[in-house]
Chain A
Amino acid sequence: GIQVEQSPPDLILQEGANSTLRCNFSDSVNNLQWFHQNPWGQLINLFYIPSGTKQNGRLSATTVATERYSLLYISSSQTTDSGVYFCAVEGGSGNTGKLIFGQGTTLQVKP
């Protein structure tokens, strides 16, 4: 099956700093989503981005499908950005809905 690797596993930032999170995947994908899981466990959908670039406020994401990676950019980080960021992909025909999650990047933003 498709493999998903995220880096770095852990990241500590000072408030106001910028960061880049990376997601590598082993095969072509039909669906790629970035999620933020807050300390209470809620998975918040950030981007649906199987290819291309999207921006939403301080967050942006780029997926280069031909090179099998996606990047999540966080600018001017805030303490509320802390939590775990997951990349999840669906390979194959794209009709199953089976998302495979990476191990996540745990982000801590210090005031």
Chain B
Amino acid sequence: DTEVTQTPKHLVMGMTNKKSLKCEQHMGHRAMYWYKQKAKKPPELMFVYSYEKLSINESVPSRFSPECPNSSLLNLHLHALQPEDSALYLCASSQVRGLAGAKETQYFGPGTRLLVL
């Protein structure tokens, strides 16, 4: 099973709201990722978790707060977002190989379409 699930599929929120995006995988992968994709653009990496620890933060504003409560779950907490944060948010996971921690094939979830009003 190479499935990554994401909830919700769609989310509309105001600039003062707090919401969370959820991602789950049961493939035993130990690396998980958040990407942001604007319309007609490629995905851009936001965060990488490796063995439940944050290993990469691509200078993402603090209004985006990731959390990895266990090896199967990844959350993205949203607070005080701006309209320009409206995008498709994609979660991915991959296996981690060897002592050096090389990341293997990334599998993506279906995404959450976020609209900030």
- Determine which of B102, B106, B111 lies in contact with A99 in the assembled complex, contact meaning CB atoms within 8 Å: B106
7 residue pairs bridging A and B, Cβ less than 8 Å apart: A33-B105, A43-B90, A43-B108, A86-B43, A94-B103, A96-B56, A99-B106
A63 CA / B50 CA spacing, docked (Å): 27
Can you list, as one digit per residue, whether each of A78-99 has a CB less than 8 Å from chain B (1) or not (0)?
0000000010101001111111
- Chain B interface size, under 10 / 10 to 19 / 20 to 34 / 35 or more: 20 to 34
Which residues of A are found within 8 Å of B111, using beta-carbon distances? Answer: 41-43
* B positions within 8 Å CB-CB of A: 2, 31, 33, 37, 41-45, 48, 50, 55-56, 58, 88, 90, 92, 94, 100-108, 110-111, 113
12 more A-B residue pairs beyond the given contacts A97-B106, A101-B42, with a C-beta to C-beta distance below 8 A: A41-B90, A41-B113, A43-B92, A88-B42, A93-B100, A95-B100, A97-B33, A97-B94, A97-B103, A99-B43, A101-B44, A103-B41
Which residues of B are found within 8 Å of A40, using beta-carbon distances? Answer: 110
A43 CA / B91 CA spacing, docked (Å): 10
User: How many A-B contacts are there with CB distance less than 8 Å?
Assistant: 67
CB atoms of B103 and A90 under 8 A apart = yes
- Determine which of A45, A48, A97 lies in contact with B50 in the assembled complex, contact meaning CB atoms within 8 Å: A97
How close is A97's CB to chain B, nearest CB, in angstroms? Answer: 4
A69 CA / B41 CA spacing, docked (Å): 21
Which residues of B are found within 8 Å of A96, using beta-carbon distances? Answer: 48, 55-56, 103
CB atoms of A97 and B108 under 8 A apart = no
Which A-B residue pairs are the 5 nearest by beta carbons?
A: A97-B103, A101-B42, A43-B108, A48-B105, A41-B111
CB atoms of B106 and A45 under 8 A apart = yes
CB atoms of A98 and B43 under 8 A apart = no
Tell yes or no: A30 within 8 A of B by CB: yes
A101 CA / B44 CA spacing, docked (Å): 7
